[in-house]
Chains A and B, each alone.
Chain A
Amino acid sequence: NAGVTQTPKFRVLKTGQSMTLLCAQDMNHEYMYWYRQDPGMGLRLIHYSVGEGTTAKGEVPDGYNVSRLKKQNFLLGLESAAPSQTSVYFCASSSLSGGSDQPQHFGDGTRLSIL
């Protein structure tokens, strides 16, 4: 069972470059999320999606864009990378049924360094 798969696992960018992080889930979940985790801190929500074609801002959305063209995929884009975006990025998904009773399933993260 693949669960939530994130690609790439590691990436180094130069300031100003752009890139897209891909998240794929095979559990037919309606909800998907992107978080970032900085050293010594808990995860913070960047953007989320409650269904195909819909996205919404989370706690720290500035500098990021997202798209959910297919139910199983959630893309996180950095248009012009900045050193402050150096972080570990986690994608998660959860089921609609049961509401907040449903756990979120996380990928193993993408470690992104911006020089």
Chain B
Amino acid sequence: DAKTTQPNSMESNEEEPVHLPCNHSTISGTDYIHWYRQLPSQGPEYVIHGLTSNVNNRMASLAIAEDRKSSTLILHRATLRDAAVYYCILRDRLGNTGFQKLVFGTGTRLLVSP
């Protein structure tokens, strides 16, 4: 499985934008970039994913570098509820059965101050 590298922690103030980086220099052409987050005492929650183009949804935006070796999860206005561990995960879109496991690293712990 291709590896991702994320900072251990980041801090933000409430209502400010947050840019969470992820490096994946060994990404293959068929890997999707997925982001999950885990709030305290809860299971992981899907945030967003993309392949080549930037993506937006109600939770966040995903900016993917042109060479796909890095990506950035953007929270446009951080709230206290966004304090969580954010995981950047690569998933190969090809597979014998369509099953693709998620390989979690240690993620980035986002701290949000009022």
Residues of A within 8 A of B (CB): 4, 31, 33, 35, 40-45, 48, 50, 58-59, 90, 92, 96, 98-101, 103-109
Contact = CB atoms under 8 A, between A and B. Distances in A.
Task: In the A-B complex, list the 5 residue pairs whose CB atoms are closest, starting with the nearest.
Answer: A42-B104, A106-B43, A103-B46, A100-B100, A99-B98
Contacts of A109: 41-43
Contacts, number: 63
Interface in B22-76: 32, 34, 36, 41-46, 49
Contact of A44 (B34, B87, B95, B104): B104
Nearest to A94: B99
A103 B48 CA distance: 9
Interface of B: 32, 34, 36, 41-46, 49, 87, 91-93, 95, 97-107
